Structure 1
């Protein structure tokens, strides 16, 4: 198989587990966070910087790469790994979320989705077969079934139609998938309705995917509601296969997701937040572009081993950001990804050592508030 999964240790107090995701391009310790390389690049960083920070597996976006530069061009370049200079494994999403969230004038049919490009207004059609074909041309190690992601809030009927269409499309993706060196994961939908989530899981289990994602969360619903959906959905997924929560990347949500048995996460939050001059710390979010840090000569976070914290101060990084210097955003991005990768490593060690519940409680007791700083 192109992808396998081994559970090494399960936490006795929660559903957290430490494992290894096996791919043809190397093993990935789990739980794992995937930084998002939307346009075949993790914004502001080179591939070797992502690797040196601790990145093992990255996500790229089918919708964006299909529109620009095109899957055919990337295939001609030798595939996505060679095109972007990343030697580790890559997961590509199906483009479903972006089709429904970015593209104007979307028209959904049972055969697929008509949409207009957010770049130039040109019209395109994505079917399950087209989504698989584009991802096969890109050459990612893990590809995702084409799904319909309903918005939040939505009615029960809207969620039901999206869930049933997602199931039908999953069957078609399975039939269209040809490349044996790629693993195709299914996506559970159903909004925030328990019976729809349970039906989605039952339907997808019949297809025996090598991994399962939970989609349609972190789309505006309260966090407590997301956790409730995970509480009743995750236990239905096969324990011997990886479980992937799509679009989640804040430290508190990562911990809560792991506690509920999630193995894989992705999100643009760490890099997007960095480009807005905000960074993660153990105590909360520090908005370093704020005036309060103009004469603050401490690192972004005491004790952090990232390049930014070892060499520069808050005052200097704020100066770079206010002066629109590229280095400022590179430094905040380096810090945020290192923070998340280090956190995931600490979570894994805590699971292996049988102390995850205590680690989670200690972290969350000090996390969750923006650090002092006055906006300009």
Structure 2
């Protein structure tokens, strides 16, 4: 195990990259997908099961954990890793996005954001300094700067003002983070879909200096075409010798497109949330287990998948337990989706290392274009 945080690039294929992030808690193979453990749990999954899917790192939500059970309580109980029984790396977001999207009666100032909890209406203030303190109490391995992220579409002036505020907060986050060997602080590039603003943000972040860099402010309503348009230039604005993290993405084809454009890390609630709502990701695209066509089908979700849901259960059974609202449905479908996402990442890592990413990508899109298996007559 490394005593420090470091990133080693192993191979590139076009803009796509594969490598390893080393931390005191273990290695993260990139490109990496991080399952989201919002409230110190990946919903419907045991930590051991998440690890069994191939996940090297989880994401925890600062906003949710600061409100319940509180960062101070988690710290008293030995930190987030011990609290949730996950001994691999954890990345925590800054809380900024959730404050903007979930909190009521929020007020934004230069100092930070005051808001009322969506849980009980209690009043809180989140600043760059407080965000760094909460993430230190949680004990996360990768800490995110506190930033502000306006929903798109927004006016150019609003995006520019927000980005510059985030850059001032990034400098304050760096000061408050201090010297924490073995822990990393990532800066977050903002600027909406405007290349000049993205360049200004990247320049400021490089000036401050971070262990890794995120492309923020995407997957907030701009659509895939606009997102890819930004990713065609934004990763190259960030240091090549540091990990690049695209926040809150996404669907399988979003992820493949992001890796193709030089992204190393991603997170999204989609595989776990979809599992709970009966949406299943497979090599042949997306299927909905609640549809009646599956009720007499003895076949697995995906014949080439080795997850427990595909190894041991039929579509007919999975349809039945979903329609019956049995808990095992969320467990098995979430496991399958997370397994599929990790296999996607492993496939891309191997393809990049072997210089055949373009062929792998073509096969990925061809498989999804086939659609689900024909219905049994």
**Equivalent residue, structure 1, for 2:174:** 174
Is 1:259–2:244 an aligned residue pair? no
Cα separation, 1, equivalents of 2:109 and 2:181: 29
**Equivalent residue, structure 1, for 2:38:** 38
**Equivalent residue, structure 1, for 2:250:** 249
Cα separation, 1, equivalents of 2:245 and 2:217: 12
Pairing 1:41-190 to 2, within 5 Å after superposition: 41-178=41-178, 179-190=180-191
- Please report how far the alpha carbon of residue 191 of structure 1 lies from its aligned counterpart in structure 2 after TM superposition: 0.9
**Equivalent residue, structure 2, for 1:288:** 289
TM-score by length of 1: 0.97
Are the counterparts in 1 of residues 23 and 182 from structure 2 also a CA contact under 8 Å?
Answer: no
**Equivalent residue, structure 2, for 1:346:** 347
TM-score by length of 2: 0.96
Pairing 1:308-327 to 2, within 5 Å after superposition: 308-327=309-328
CA separation of 1:269 and 1:370: change in aligned 2, threshold 3 A: farther
- Please report how far the alpha carbon of residue 290 of structure 1 lies from its aligned counterpart in structure 2 after TM superposition: 1.3
Cα separation, 1, equivalents of 2:289 and 2:52: 24
What is the DSSP-based 3-state SS (H/G/I as helix, E as strand, rest coil) of the residue aligned with 1:36?
strand
What is the DSSP-based 3-state SS (H/G/I as helix, E as strand, rest coil) of the residue aligned with 1:82?
helix
- Please report how far the alpha carbon of residue 373 of structure 1 lies from its aligned counterpart in structure 2 after TM superposition: 10
**Equivalent residue, structure 2, for 1:219:** 220
> Unaligned regions of 5+ residues in structure 2, if any?
none
Aligned length: 372
Pairing 1:3-42 to 2, within 5 Å after superposition: 3-11=5-13, 14-42=14-42
Q: Which 4+ residue blocks in structure 1 deviate beyond 4 angstroms? A: 368-374
- Please report how far the alpha carbon of residue 2 of structure 1 lies from its aligned counterpart in structure 2 after TM superposition: 3.4
Deviates more, 1:172-181 or 1:312-321: 172-181
- Please report how far the alpha carbon of residue 3 of structure 1 lies from its aligned counterpart in structure 2 after TM superposition: 1.5
Cα separation, 2, equivalents of 1:135 and 1:369: 44
- Please report how far the alpha carbon of residue 117 of structure 1 lies from its aligned counterpart in structure 2 after TM superposition: 0.6
Are the counterparts in 2 of residues 247 and 265 from structure 1 also a CA contact under 8 Å?
Answer: yes
Cα separation, 2, equivalents of 1:46 and 1:174: 34
> Unaligned regions of 5+ residues in structure 1, if any?
none
Cα separation, 2, equivalents of 1:297 and 1:363: 26
Cα separation, 2, equivalents of 1:299 and 1:343: 19
**Equivalent residue, structure 1, for 2:4:** 2
